[in-house]
Amino acid sequence: MSKYCLLYRLQLICKEKISMEVFRSLTSYKKGKNTIVTIGTFDGVHVGHTYILKQIISKAKAKQGESLLISFDPHPRMILRPEDNSLRLLHTIDEKIRLLESLGLDKLLLIPFSRDFSLLSSDEYIERVLLETVNPSEVVIGYDHRFGHDRKGGISELQKYALEHNFEVQEIPAQAVDDAKVSSTKIREALKNGDVSSANKYLGYNYSFGGTVIHGEKMGRKLGFPTANIQPDSRHKLIPANGVYLVKVHLKQGSYYGLMNIGNKPTVGEFARGFEVYILNFDDDIYGEYLRTEFLERRRSEKKFGSLDALIEAMNADKAYALQRIEELEN
């Protein structure tokens, strides 16, 4: 199984080979027939994004055409505000690709976002990206979508070109978007507060992150709870607030339940923020392997205990809680 395979509540199938075509520049893009396109960063691919994507996928099938998302890599904010290191993304680019493919999207065009690209006027943007590169049959966008230099382009500019160049424009109305009551910003805030249950609801699937298993201080093993320490895929990936979480762990050997601790381990000393998971009913050597954790719910916040005995008692209580919740989830 691919190391990037995610388990989604949507019961989507993760494939070994990407069937969705991915283009990483305007010059590499191959035009198709009856292309239905939408545009946006789509960080998180949450339920609001999914609504729009389902629209273009359905329209493309009806016209025997192709569905296309035009997105950007890196995230525009990283280029426009390079001094601001606070942005954390809900998906790495590989995660986004796998999720978009699993939804049934035909094509993804990832435009390398740069200062020069950001200076394109709305007219230049439409002409260069949509007309010259894609030649769309229809463009579907949200009611508040803006594009071009200083975000001056919108639905009216698209409609003007649509009349001249024989393509349709559909605007997703405010009510349809707002009814989802979700945004990437709202999901980020939930995760920063440790509220993974709300984040999962907004996304439509369980939030996750992955990385390589590395050597740690081995403190968990000394306490009777050996853990796998994880080096995340990307420093830009958003990781939930410090605390203990019930998770599902995905390895090449299979999937297991576990308890993840995120934090600085204040009871045993001050450490840099770390990510370690105690995998239930598992004792293999997995150093150097890829591991993905899927967040199910938060157990508690991080706490400094008065002694190691108190910490061990809390860890045993965490384990008992996990076993009970797993039984409930499995039945």
- DSSP for 291-305 reads EEEEEEEEEE-----
Q: How confident is the model at residue 180 (pLDDT cuts 50, 70, 90)?
A: low
**pLDDT higher than 60, residue 315:** yes
Task: Please list the residues that pair with 318 across neighbouring strands.
Answer: none
Q: Does the fold of domain 207-330 match that of domain 21-178?
A: no
Q: Of all helices (H) and strands (E), which one includes residue 207?
A: none
Question: Which of 200, 219, 213 is CA-nearest to residue 271?
Answer: 219
Task: Please list the residues that pair with 153 across neighbouring strands.
Answer: 147
- At 265-310, the pLDDT tens digits run 888 776 788 999 999 999 899 999 999 999 999 999 998 888 998 9
CATH number belonging to the domain at 207-330, selected among 3.30.460.80, 1.10.3720.10, 2.40.30.30, 3.40.50.300 = 2.40.30.30
Q: Rounded mean pLDDT of 324-330?
A: 94
Sequence-separated (6 or more) residues with CB below 8 Å from residue 322: 246, 257, 258, 259, 280, 299
Range 21-178 classified under CATH 3.40.50.150: no
**pLDDT higher than 70, residue 177:** no
Q: Rounded mean pLDDT of 300-324?
A: 93
**pLDDT higher than 90, residue 22:** yes
Output the pTM of the full model. Answer: 0.86
Say what the pLDDT of residue 152 is. Answer: 87
What share of the chain has pLDDT > 70, as a percent? 92
- Average pLDDT of the residues of the chain: 89
Dihedral sign (CA 305, 308, 313, 318): positive
CA distance 252 to 230: 15
Say what the pLDDT of residue 16 is. Answer: 41
- CA dist 134 → 116, 130, 306 (Å): 20, 5, 63
Sequence-separated (6 or more) residues with CB below 8 Å from residue 212: 230, 231, 288, 289, 290, 291
- At 83-137, the pLDDT tens digits run 888 889 999 999 999 999 999 999 999 999 999 999 999 999 999 999 999 999 9
- What count of Cα atoms within 13 Å lies in the side-chain half-sphere of residue 202? 22
**pLDDT higher than 90, residue 220:** no
Dihedral sign (CA 111, 184, 142, 76): negative
**pLDDT higher than 70, residue 12:** no
Annotated domain spans of the chain:
21-178, 207-330
Sequence-separated (6 or more) residues with CB below 8 Å from residue 267: 303, 304, 305, 308, 310, 311
